[in-house]
Amino acid sequence: TQLLEQSPQFLSIQEGENLTVYCNSSSVFSSLQWYRQEPGEGPVLLVTVVTGGEVKKLKRLTFQFGDARKDSSLHITAAQPGDTGLYLCAGGSGGYNKLIFGAGTRLAVHP
C-alpha cells in the first residue's frame, strides 16, 4: 500500500516568516501534485512535478521533487495571511487519476 507522510501536521507562524512542508514516502511516484484547500471549498492545484530533482517556483512558493521521486517539499518565503489554508500533497502512479493524498498541513499565518 502506498502511503504519503506529510509533516508538520499544523503550522502557526507570523507574517514574513519562511516555512517548509515535507511529503515523504517509501514508494516511487510518477508525479507529485500539491494542492491548497480553503474551508468550504475543494482543493485547488498549485503545481505538478514529474521529474526527479525537479524544482518549480510559483511566486513565493518553491516546490521540489526528490531525486528518487519518493519525496517532495514545499517552501514558502515570507508567508502572508493569504497563504493560510490546508496544503495537501498527492502522489500519482500513472495510468489512472488515482491519487494518494497526504494527511495535509494546516497552515495559519498571523498578521
Partner 1 sequence: KAGVTQTPRYLIKTRGQQVTLSCSPISGHRSVSWYQQTPGQGLQFLFEYFSETQRNKGNFPGRFSGRQFSNSRSEMNVSTLELGDSALYLCASSFMTGDSPLHFGNGTRLTVT
Q: Which three cell numbers stand for residue 93?
A: 502512479
Q: Which three cell numbers stand for residue 72?
A: 517532495
Window 39 to 58, contacts with partner 1 (CB under 8 A): 40-45, 48, 50
For partner 1, the binding residue among 104, 105, 107, 109 (CB under 8 A) is 104
Mark the segment that binds partner 1 (CB under 8 A) among 14-22, 33-41, 54-62, 69-77: 33-41
Cα end-to-end distance, the chain, whole Å = 41
Cβ-Cβ contacts under 8 Å for 40 (sequence gap 6 or more): none
User: Would you call the peptide bond into 43 cis, given omega within 30 degrees of 0 as the criterion?
Assistant: no
For partner 1, the binding residue among 74, 76, 99, 109 (CB under 8 A) is 99
Sites of contact with partner 1 (CB under 8 A)? 30-31, 33, 35, 40-45, 48, 50, 88, 90, 92-104
